[in-house]
Structure 1
Amino acid sequence: MFLEKFGLTLAVLSLCGLGHAETDITSDTYFYGESPAVYPSPNGTGTGDWAAAYKKATALVAQMTLEEKNNLTFGIDSTSTSCVGVIGAIERLGFPGMCLQDAGNGVRMADFVNSYPSGIHVGASWNKSLAHDRGWHMAGEFRTKGVNVALGPVVAPMGRTTTDGRNWEGVASDPYLSGALAAQTVEGMQGQGVITSVKHFIGYEQELYRNPTTNSDNQTVESVSSNIDDKTMHEAYLWPFQDALKAGAGNIMCSYNRINNSYACQNSKTLNGLLKTELGFNGFVVTDWYGQHSGVGAALAGLDMAMPTGETFWGTSFTEAIKNGSVPLSRLDDMATRIIATWYQMGQDSSTYPSLGVGMPYNISGPHKIVSALTKEAKPTLFEGAVEGHVLVKNVNNSLPLKSPKLLSVFGWDATAPSQYMPSNVLATDAWEDGYEPVLSWLSAMSETSEIINEPYDFQVAFNGTLSVGGGSGANAGPYLSAPLDALQQRAYEDNTVVMWDTGANPDLLGVMEASDACLVFINAFATEGLDRSGTYDSYSDALVAKVAKTCPNTIVIIHNAGTRMVESFAENPNVTAIVFAHLPGQDSGRAIASLLYGDDNFSGKLPYTVGKNESDYPAYWHDYAVKPFELFPQSNFTEGVLTDYKWFDAKGIAPRYEFGFGLSYTTFAFSGLKVSSVDGIAAYPSGVIEQGGQVDLWDSIVKVTATVENTGSKSGAEVAQLYVGIPGGPVRQLRGFDKVKIAAGKSAEVSFSLTRRDLSTWDVTAQKWHLQSGEYKIYVGSSSRDLPLTTTLKITTN
């Protein structure tokens, strides 16, 4: 596909001596020219509300020596704090330095902090205000701990590769949903004065070959190249980053992969061109850890800060590059100004901002900053966040909610607390973070080689306890973990229910199963940074469900899944009466699922991805591998373009098991009264000035859509009204609005959607601008991407 994408064939390459099996491509120069060169790196000017911060930063940087400016651009080793990245202080000028710290669902490598729902759980909530509140409370803890830059939220990976090991850190397999919720997260976090690092920029969609490796011939295998065309880049992968920038994001983390055969952290097209020019980014760019691969080249291409150190490529060598003219002094001045301006923009120069890493002792026995006061305020958000990310996809005969059962049976390794639940600090780390290491030896030994594809769909399970978060740098540990079995036992105490359980892999309690009012089976689907998943289902979990369901006529399956999980082996089993995708709820996991199963709270989550029936349903189920003649330069070709997830299913006429946006409730809803305004005599292209987020008139609201949602059931509940648009020449439909409303039984509520110029435009690769076309646009409103009872046509006339 790579060869076809660039207009070449194997036959032609063979004639050129490049297609023969014995021909090796040994230099990256073979690919040069694919990612356009964009130079020089534009200086930040402080557009919009950044003007005051830039004025202060320019004055401070003017007082710095060459070495002081240089030292702002790379991290240093520190034994005084467990911050994963540290920028040293410039004491004579009153700059205290910066602490950069993971993670996406709470402060990592720290105790006395909370573990919030993960990114995928936020996506499943479809709740903007909840995403904002989560960001606000989470950032309060980062601030208290003395963190300047919180390394999140994640919008890449965006789920393009179904088995990607880090999909759980991201929000959704859709750019609009990802961008909307990431923007709310940015606003919430930066409202506390904490800089958000939106990551990973860009096209980071698989773990295999994410970093350079060495093969058996001692040759370097470069990181995988995500080959993305201009239209797809703008309409899919750049989209959520643009939303985050419009929300004010102060930092962007560049990714490990290459983009069109140029490393992300030295790609002048994406950094200088897209980010700093087209989107007017005022903040600074930091590498992912050890993601720098050049010194002068990276600086000229737009990189501003290297982590965790810069000694390999920058350090004293960088000052020499400035002195000998290899890098102009103006580039270093801009790097320093962007960093200091972001520090000022968030108000971190205030005397009330905690000192660097004050609550992040290198030794866990050292002094701590406890966030107990913040925890009391955050508790409603922690619990509600955990509740709303659960998605009910099957519920026959009203099996749920449970109705004071006399005998409840619980099965599965995911029901109990893990054997270890410890903060992953520098004195107590493990390979997979926070006690979620799968116990199977093959997983710990698996390396980034093609043999992974030959593994069976087993062993992607966390057998040692319930899964509340995935593995890797995105994980953290809270003050406690509420496991499902613990919460169910508490409810049993209140209801005088008998609870029996067997959390082994092979339960043999046939009599108990037959006598139970309900059998709850807890399984999980583990994923971690550094490894892609071996599939989207596993035979151990499926066998457990089958064994219980064979005897128990009311089997309810709860899956804590760190990514898409197929359920074909039991979805239509008549004895499996209910299925819940429980995702990764954080520390309140058990309390949340118990509340939902008993109906104290109502299900309101929706799938942020599509659950297919077969591997072949997805355009990029597996990660890509290096094949001849590209063994040393792995290629991943995004040939599906913008047709990711549900847009692919729609385009190919594939029936999913559960579609994007789907989720059941204990009540029912009806839609009516669709109204859409028209657009007449509007310019086809934006003409506004560029501020952070792009041309300002891209964000003008040009269409208003309203509809009515009625709760036709007998229980109060929340519905997510979803708006999809069929743009001429584009996918069948794509999400362009959503509104989550809580409605009492028998009542109704109006939902309103504001469509911007960007929402209705396509990227014009010739004009290099967003193009609003004249024509008819299909408008759909409903409860999922395939349940859209309201339809109409929007007419747009441009001049």
Structure 2
Amino acid sequence: MTSLSESVSVLSGRDSWHTPAAAGIPEIRMSDGPAGVRGTSWTGPRSAVFPCGSALGATFDPTLIQEVGVALGRQARSKSAHVLLAPTVNLHRTPIGGRNFECMSEDPLLTGVLARAYVEGVQSQGIACCIKHFIGNDTEYERSTISSEIDERTLREVYLLPFEMAVERNVRAVMTAYNKLNGTFCADHEWLITTVLRNEWGFDGVVISDWFGLHSTAEAMNAGLDIEMPGPTRHRGLLLESAVNEGAVDSATIEASVARVRALAEWAQASKSDGSERTDDDALTRDVQYRTAVGSTVLLTNDNDQLPWPAQSVDRIALIGPYASTGRPQGGGSAKVRPSWVASLLESLNSRDHRVDWAQGCSISRFHPSVRGEFTLDVVDEHGVSVSLTKTSLDAFWQDGPTDEMSMTFGATIQSKLSIYMILNQSLSALG
């Protein structure tokens, strides 16, 4: 007979990435995603990095995304993880969303189709996906306190659709969002978790809080949230035991959650894990990385059919921008991993038989180098580029002009016959 204390203990994390081994259930290891599998340490063994969520969305290719999922599942096994905290299926509801790079699209149907493929790929390797963030976490600004006010029709047709489509493919776990939905924190939202997710959609997996995203004891437990993360617990443990003893939470509710955690551990074969972590960087993984990067490249326009250029016809290439020489393969925050390798664009092009000229172009200061000399030719017409941006700690805002110290302006007049432009970025760009 399992004691109440032991049962309650498996309903919150032991540390940042594990549930405790208790009540006859082995510990479950979780790892951040979605563009790689970090493991339990920010400085641990390196990991393969795949194109970010917005790049996956640009492929429009569920078959390719399923291959990405398979590769990520193998990466998770190399880190002895049982649950990959991915995919992120929140929507690009505004171009300034701070985590747009991590999400796939503004289109809920496209997001849902690709999410299903991602989940199928990862879970084919015996690794559970924890799809996130349920629901309406489409802005980073005040995300822990803001309430997303969404009417039911819009909620079901737009925001919930990608999650529902993933549930149809038996996704094993769901992570609740930090924000409130119509005034109630998502982790406390019984209608969202029990009525819709479990009763209407038939989801029988585990519901996990976002890290430090739990705000209650009895409310979240009664709503159907199974695991508080991370540990040590702040709202469960002795507080949850007291809630049961005082009648605020029924013991059957505890037993149901414990059963779901047990089922997840058994499905992921958590008892067979040795806990080791290693770098898994092989030719198969690199092939998927390469094909996904190629597939995510978008040709916006091809005036006068100028492309493609025969490789032998290219003598010189101009690279302008500070990140041409450093390489930026990923976004930040919980999506960040230690890449097993990084190749900058400058490094890659220099390895080929072309002359490559590079200028930093702009910097985070009031003074910006000009683009001149070997990059320019004397012609009559002038072509100008003026870029202005600001960035807060959470969301990026695009404006027509600078705002105090938060914005930087880069202006350059380029006199050139060059008419082919490639833009490499993860989020907002103003073109035209």
Q: 1:260 aligns with which of 171, 179, 182?
A: 182
1:200 equivalent in alignment to 2:133: yes
Q: 1:86 aligns with which of 13, 18, 30?
A: 18
Instruction: Quote the residue 1:503 is aligned against.
Output: 360
Instruction: Quote the residue 1:103 is aligned against.
Output: 33
Instruction: Quote the residue 1:138 is aligned against.
Output: 72
Instruction: Quote the residue 1:560 is aligned against.
Output: 424
Instruction: Quote the residue 1:273 is aligned against.
Output: 195
Instruction: Quote the residue 1:232 is aligned against.
Output: 154
Contact 1:119–1:169 (CA under 8 A) maintained in structure 2: yes
- The separation in 2 between residues aligned to 1:137 and 1:101, in whole angstroms, is 15
Instruction: Quote the residue 2:365 is aligned against.
Output: none
**CA spacing shift, 1:313–1:557, aligned 2, 3 Å:** same
1:114 equivalent in alignment to 2:48: yes
Letter in 1 for 2:179: N
Contact 1:412–1:504 (CA under 8 A) maintained in structure 2: yes
Q: 2:350 aligns with which of 489, 492, 497?
A: 489
Letter in 1 for 2:217: G
The Cα shift of 1:523 comes to: 12
The Cα shift of 1:383 comes to: 0.4
Q: How does 1:561-576 map to 2 (within 5 A)?
A: 561-567=425-431, 571=432
Encode CA deviations 1:254-282: one digit per residue, 9 max, x unaligned: 00110010001001111111111111110
Instruction: Quote the residue 1:376 is aligned against.
Output: 283
Secondary structure at 1:410's aligned position in 2?
Answer: strand
Contact 1:88–1:97 (CA under 8 A) maintained in structure 2: yes
Encode CA deviations 1:308-335: one digit per residue, 9 max, x unaligned: 1263211112112222222110000011
Encode CA deviations 1:187-240: one digit per residue, 9 max, x unaligned: 1001111111100000111111112xxxxxxxxxxx111111111111111100
- The separation in 2 between residues aligned to 1:525 and 1:273, in whole angstroms, is 46
Instruction: Quote the residue 2:102 is aligned against.
Output: 169
Letter in 2 for 1:558: M
Q: 2:323 aligns with which of 414, 426, 431?
A: 414
- The separation in 2 between residues aligned to 1:155 and 1:537, in whole angstroms, is 30
Q: How does 1:458-607 map to 2 (within 5 A)?
A: 466-492=327-353, 497-505=354-362, 506-514=369-377, 531-535=394-398, 543=410, 546-548=412-414, 551-567=415-431, 571=432
The Cα shift of 1:530 comes to: 6.0
Instruction: Quote the residue 1:179 is aligned against.
Output: 112
**CA spacing shift, 1:308–1:74, aligned 2, 3 Å:** same
Contact 1:265–1:298 (CA under 8 A) maintained in structure 2: yes
The Cα shift of 1:253 comes to: 0.3
**CA spacing shift, 1:259–1:190, aligned 2, 3 Å:** same
- The separation in 1 between residues aligned to 2:429 and 2:72, in whole angstroms, is 28
**CA spacing shift, 1:382–1:275, aligned 2, 3 Å:** same
Instruction: Quote the residue 1:396 is aligned against.
Output: 303
Secondary structure at 1:308's aligned position in 2?
Answer: coil
Contact 2:85–2:130 (CA under 8 A) maintained in structure 1: yes
Q: Pick the structure with more helix per residue.
A: 2
- The separation in 2 between residues aligned to 1:529 and 1:347, in whole angstroms, is 43
Secondary structure at 1:322's aligned position in 2?
Answer: helix
Q: Pick the structure with more strand per residue.
A: 1
Secondary structure at 2:424's aligned position in 1?
Answer: strand
Q: 2:93 aligns with which of 136, 160, 164?
A: 160
Extract unaligned runs of 5+ from structure 1: 1-62, 78-83, 212-222, 360-368, 418-465, 572-799
**CA spacing shift, 1:538–1:281, aligned 2, 3 Å:** farther
- The separation in 2 between residues aligned to 1:560 and 1:141, in whole angstroms, is 26
Contact 2:172–2:205 (CA under 8 A) maintained in structure 1: yes
Letter in 2 for 1:478: P
Letter in 2 for 1:560: L
1:355 equivalent in alignment to 2:274: yes
Letter in 1 for 2:296: G
Q: Which has the larger radius of gyration?
A: 1
- Paired residue total: 412
Secondary structure at 1:85's aligned position in 2?
Answer: coil
**CA spacing shift, 1:133–1:155, aligned 2, 3 Å:** same
**CA spacing shift, 1:528–1:271, aligned 2, 3 Å:** farther
Contact 1:271–1:303 (CA under 8 A) maintained in structure 2: yes
- The separation in 2 between residues aligned to 1:293 and 1:566, in whole angstroms, is 39
Q: 1:191 aligns with which of 124, 127, 143?
A: 124
Contact 1:167–1:563 (CA under 8 A) maintained in structure 2: yes
TM-score (norm: length of structure 2): 0.88
Contact 1:207–1:530 (CA under 8 A) maintained in structure 2: no
Contact 2:28–2:270 (CA under 8 A) maintained in structure 1: no
- The separation in 2 between residues aligned to 1:536 and 1:125, in whole angstroms, is 29
**CA spacing shift, 1:291–1:564, aligned 2, 3 Å:** same
- The separation in 1 between residues aligned to 2:250 and 2:297, in whole angstroms, is 53
1:123 equivalent in alignment to 2:76: no
- The separation in 1 between residues aligned to 2:248 and 2:195, in whole angstroms, is 21
Encode CA deviations 1:394-413: one digit per residue, 9 max, x unaligned: 22234433443223222111
- The separation in 2 between residues aligned to 1:188 and 1:206, in whole angstroms, is 28
Q: Over aligned residues, Cα RMSD in angstroms?
A: 2.7
Secondary structure at 2:129's aligned position in 1?
Answer: strand
Identity level (%): 27
- The separation in 2 between residues aligned to 1:243 and 1:522, in whole angstroms, is 42
**CA spacing shift, 1:528–1:262, aligned 2, 3 Å:** farther
Letter in 2 for 1:547: T
- The separation in 1 between residues aligned to 2:408 and 2:292, in whole angstroms, is 26
- The separation in 2 between residues aligned to 1:558 and 1:231, in whole angstroms, is 40
- The separation in 2 between residues aligned to 1:400 and 1:488, in whole angstroms, is 18
Instruction: Quote the residue 1:444 is aligned against.
Output: none
**CA spacing shift, 1:176–1:207, aligned 2, 3 Å:** same
**Structure possessing the higher relative contact order (Cα contacts under 8 Å, 6 or more residues apart):** 2
Letter in 1 for 2:355: V
Contact 2:387–2:409 (CA under 8 A) maintained in structure 1: no
- The separation in 2 between residues aligned to 1:529 and 1:469, in whole angstroms, is 19
- The separation in 2 between residues aligned to 1:89 and 1:96, in whole angstroms, is 4
- The separation in 1 between residues aligned to 2:100 and 2:11, in whole angstroms, is 30
Q: How does 1:750-765 map to 2 (within 5 A)?
A: none
Secondary structure at 2:29's aligned position in 1?
Answer: strand
